[in-house]
């Protein structure tokens, strides 16, 4: 499967991100969705870092894969035959990629994975080929990992369920399938009738723009709600479970995810609603003891002050919604303490409490837990 896209009555399937043999990285420009479908082309690692930083590509998995592609891009243009000089220059070039989004652990994990493969090479030419091959391998593995998350997570969805999502952890946030949306897609393919409430997810509106777009493309019934409405629907008993992704998970199970996740987790706990976190094992950072050690990215005030959209004439415009004398705080993520998480959905199965012990067990080779 790939991202399903329907434009002007035509349907096609495409990956969120991919790298061609000439090392050009291509990606769906997520800033333009849902009103415009455009492919952004990045010819070099600096442009790829720019794409990550400016939210052209976003989502923990997609960022991680694109970071791996950036290593291959950076390696390909280094002009030296000395392997030690090559490695030093490669590492220096990647600083701009590392600085693009500090919270997503997949970015650092995949950079280090490609570098580790490159270090084993005997010469520069081989190293360039290995960087390309390893990055492509990471992309293929990402697709399979997300598919497995979908299979395990679909077991948690019953026919007729209404579920809530926050932000976008679908195919657009990875290479394909996604994490939080993968169980929903899989359950839909299994013939289960599902309704999805989609948090709009201010300030970038990834829910209203991206998750709703994916669900529309798949033909899955969904309703966009304001971020503040989730508690209302939980208290009314409309929501059976919440599915979210994660950008980093600490060793004790604390979860860094899109701002607003913590509030949802508290509401879910209060209203006896299941709160599921879907994430690949690489998202678990065993070197990070708890959520207090996770760096939280803060972005521009303008993301709070302005929104983009189509006006009534179909023109793409940026509109200010706040007073000119106001200031803003814009943390992009928050941390949900592990006690608010019902369980984790990974490519190796479901992780139940106690999380610290069971996370380590699964990473070291455990199996699916019922």
Sign (positive or negative) of CA dihedral 217, 218, 222, 226? negative
**122 and 170 inside one domain:** no
Residue 368 pLDDT exceeds 60? no
**223 and 349 inside one domain:** yes
Domain that holds residue 303: 152-363
**87 and 198 inside one domain:** no
The position carrying tokens 């991202």 is: 3
Question: Which of 146, 169, 204 represents a domain boundary (last residue)?
Answer: 146
| 305 is a domain residue | yes
Question: In the prediction, which pLDDT does 206 show?
Answer: 94
pLDDT tens digit sequence for 147-203: 999 999 999 999 999 999 999 999 999 999 999 999 999 999 999 999 999 999 999
| 258 is a domain residue | yes
**110 and 91 inside one domain:** yes
**104 and 245 inside one domain:** no
pLDDT category at 313 given cuts 50, 70, 90 is confident
- 3-state helix/strand/coil string of 339-356: HHCCEEEECCEEECCCHH
Q: How far apart are CA 129 and CA 85, in angstroms?
A: 17
Question: In the prediction, which pLDDT does 195 show?
Answer: 98
**92 and 168 inside one domain:** no
- 3-state helix/strand/coil string of 149-214: HHHHHHCCCCCCCEEEECCCCCHHHCCCCCCCCHHHHHHHHCCCCCEEEEECCCCCCHHHHHHHHH
pLDDT tens digit sequence for 40-59: 999 999 999 999 999 999 88
| 369 is a domain residue | no
| 229 is a domain residue | yes
The token pair at 21 is 């043999």
Which of 2-16, 30-44, 266-280 shows the highest mean pLDDT? Answer: 266-280
Best CA proximity match to 216, nearest among 201, 196, 193, 236 = 196
pLDDT category at 370 given cuts 50, 70, 90 is very low
Contacts of 365 (CB under 8 A, 6+ apart): none
Sign (positive or negative) of CA dihedral 183, 223, 266, 239? negative
**207 and 326 inside one domain:** yes
**314 and 266 inside one domain:** yes
β-pair partners for 223: 197
**164 and 284 inside one domain:** yes
Best CA proximity match to 25, nearest among 74, 61, 73, 92 = 73
DSSP string, 32-87: TTTT---EEEE-SHHHHHHHHHTTSS-SHHHHHHHHHHHHHHHHHT---S-HHHHH
Question: Which of 146, 173, 196 represents a domain boundary (last residue)?
Answer: 146
**237 and 216 inside one domain:** yes
Question: Which of 79, 113, 146 represents a domain boundary (last residue)?
Answer: 146
| 134 is a domain residue | yes
**355 and 214 inside one domain:** yes
pTM above 0.85, yes or no: yes
* Active site residue ranges: 247
Contacts of 100 (CB under 8 A, 6+ apart): 49, 50, 52, 53, 63, 67, 107
pLDDT category at 366 given cuts 50, 70, 90 is low
**Of 11-15, 83-87, 248-252, minimum mean pLDDT range:** 11-15
| 368 is a domain residue | no
**156 and 136 inside one domain:** no
pLDDT tens digit sequence for 78-109: 999 999 999 999 999 999 999 998 766 789 99
Please answer whether residues 59 and 172 qualify as being in contact, where contact means their C-beta atoms are separated by less than 8 angstroms: yes
pLDDT tens digit sequence for 325-335: 999 999 999 99
Overall domain count for the chain: 2
| 370 is a domain residue | no
Residue 3 pLDDT exceeds 90? no
Mean pLDDT across 307-311:
87
């Amino acid at each position: 499967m790939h991202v399903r896209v329907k434009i002007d009555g035509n349907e096609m399937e495409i990956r969120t991100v991919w790298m061609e043999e000439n090392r050009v990285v291509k990606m769906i420009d997520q800033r333009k969705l849902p009103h415009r479908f455009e492919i952004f082309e990045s010819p070099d690692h600096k442009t790829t870092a720019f794409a990550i930083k400016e939210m052209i590509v976003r989502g923990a998995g997609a960022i991680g894969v694109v970071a791996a592609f950036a290593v291959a891009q950076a390696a390909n243009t280094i002009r030296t035959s000395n392997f030690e000089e090559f490695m030093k220059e490669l590492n220096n070039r990647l600083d701009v990629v590392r600085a693009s989004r500090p919270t997503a652990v997949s970015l650092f994990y995949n950079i280090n994975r490609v570098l580790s493969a490159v270090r084993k090479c005997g010469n520069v030419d081989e190293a360039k080929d290995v960087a390309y091959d390893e990055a492509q391998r990471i992309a293929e593995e990402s697709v399979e990992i997300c598919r497995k998350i979908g299979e395990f997570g679909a077991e948690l969805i019953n026919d007729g369920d209404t579920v809530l999502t926050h932000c976008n952890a679908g195919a657009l946030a990875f290479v394909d399938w996604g994490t939080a949306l993968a169980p929903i897609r899989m359950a839909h393919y299994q013939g289960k009738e599902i309704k999805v409430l989609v948090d709009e997810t201010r300030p970038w509106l990834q829910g209203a723009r991206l998750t709703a777009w994916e669900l529309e493309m798949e033909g899955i019934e969904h309703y966009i709600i304001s971020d503040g409405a989730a508690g209302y629907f939980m208290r009314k008993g409309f929501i059976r479970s919440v599915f979210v992704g994660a950008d980093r998970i600490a060793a004790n199970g604390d979860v860094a995810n899109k701002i607003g996740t913590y509030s949802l987790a508290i509401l879910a706990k209060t209203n006896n609603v299941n709160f599921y976190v879907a994430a690949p094992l690489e998202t678990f950072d065993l070197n990070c003891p708890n959520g207090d050690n996770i760096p939280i990215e803060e972005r521009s005030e303008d993301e709070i002050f302005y929104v983009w959209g189509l006006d009534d004439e179909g023109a793409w415009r940026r509109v200010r919604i706040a007073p000119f004398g106001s200031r803003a705080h814009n943390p992009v993520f928050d941390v949900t303490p592990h006690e608010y998480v019902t369980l984790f959905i990974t490519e190796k199965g479901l992780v139940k409490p106690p999380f610290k012990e069971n996370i380590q067990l699964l990473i070291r080779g455990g199996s699916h837990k019922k």
